[in-house]
C-alpha cells in the first residue's frame, strides 16, 4: 500500500510538472518568423486552469474553455496570457487584428508586414474565450 501511495504521489507530481512546463516556444517562434521586427515586443505566459472538464463536486462538472488576456506591461511589452497554447495564438491574433489592424487572410495573403513600428499600447486588457468546449481547426473561436 505504501508503494502504491508513493507511485500515486510521483505520478501527481509529474502531472503538475508537465503542466507547468507547457511550452510557449511555438507561438514565440511564429512571432520571430512572421513579425521579426516585433520579436522582442511580446511576452507569452500560460496561466490558469487548462481547458478541460473540472469537477466542482461529486455531481457537477464545469467546462473551462480556452481563454486569453492581452495587456501592456510597464516595460512596453505586450503580454499575452492564456490557459492553453491555442489560447495564446488566439490572443495574439485578437491583438494584431483589433489593435494593430493587421491580419492573415486566405484570399489576400498576409498583412503582417504592415504592422506599425510601435505596437499600440493597451489602456485596458483585451480578453476573450472560446464559445465551444472543444476547438478544432476552423471551428468557432
Reported as half-sphere exposure (CB side, CA atoms, 13 A), residue 95 has a value of 32
Taking the C-alpha atoms of residue 101 and residue 79, their distance in angstroms, rounded to an integer, is 18
Tell me the pLDDT band of 6, cut-offs 50, 70 and 90.
Answer: very low
Radius of gyration for the alpha carbons in the chain, expressed in angstroms and rounded: 18
pLDDT of res. 139:
61
Tell me the pLDDT band of 4, cut-offs 50, 70 and 90.
Answer: very low
Cα 28–128–124 angle (5° rounding)? 85
Q: Where are the domains of the chain?
A: 23-129
Cell of 38: 516585433
Cell of 70: 492581452
Taking the C-alpha atoms of residue 39 and residue 60, their distance in angstroms, rounded to an integer, is 43
pLDDT, average across residues 99-111? 80
Q: At residue 100, does pLDDT exceed 80?
A: yes
Q: At residue 29, does pLDDT exceed 60?
A: yes
Taking the C-alpha atoms of residue 92 and residue 106, their distance in angstroms, rounded to an integer, is 18
CATH architecture of 23-129: 2-Layer Sandwich (3.30)
pLDDT, average across residues 12-19? 49
Amino acid at each position: 500500500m505504501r508503494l502504491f501511495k508513493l507511485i500515486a504521489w510521483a505520478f501527481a507530481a509529474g502531472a503538475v510538472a508537465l503542466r507547468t512546463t507547457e511550452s510557449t516556444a511555438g507561438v514565440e517562434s511564429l512571432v520571430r518568423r512572421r513579425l521579426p521586427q516585433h520579436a522582442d515586443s511580446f511576452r507569452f505566459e500560460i496561466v490558469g486552469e487548462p481547458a478541460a472538464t473540472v469537477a466542482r463536486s461529486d455531481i457537477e462538472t464545469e467546462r473551462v474553455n480556452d481563454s486569453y488576456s492581452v495587456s501592456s506591461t510597464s516595460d512596453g511589452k505586450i503580454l499575452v496570457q492564456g490557459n492553453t497554447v491555442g489560447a495564446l495564438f488566439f490572443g495574439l491574433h485578437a491583438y494584431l487584428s483589433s489593435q494593430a489592424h493587421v491580419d492573415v487572410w486566405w484570399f489576400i495573403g498576409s498583412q503582417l508586414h504592415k504592422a506599425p513600428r510601435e505596437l499600440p499600447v493597451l489602456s485596458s486588457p483585451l480578453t476573450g474565450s472560446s464559445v465551444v468546449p472543444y476547438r478544432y481547426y476552423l471551428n468557432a473561436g
